[in-house]
Structure 1
């Protein structure tokens, strides 16, 4: 895959979380005591997997500092 910004070849790899983590996206970052699923624009990228590292196959361009992945 080529970088959408500079056109150079991207390196394949994985995004991952710390143990027990999950990736999510929202318009704003919810507070620590808020349920993240109630955040405006919330999208669950990966589910929570207790005692497992969550990983997503991704491509990285280290020149542009861009990461591309499908969820």
Structure 2
């Protein structure tokens, strides 16, 4: 049987979720971060600043109603 090598970065992906697993560890390894996102951390942060207002959770009628229950 053939063994498959798995990068330590991806071992906890199923339990923690890909982004939370990847981003926390990628910040500590700039070379891997560039390979994963195809941009350095500075460019990622700039891009995040541009899109953040459009992707943040918003209070909607459904969220407000569920909070009352």
Smaller-chain TM-score bracket: under 0.3
TM-score (norm 1): 0.22
Structure with the higher fraction of residues in strand conformation: 1
Q: Comparing both structures, which one devotes a greater share of its residues to helix?
A: 2
Bigger radius of gyration among the two: 2
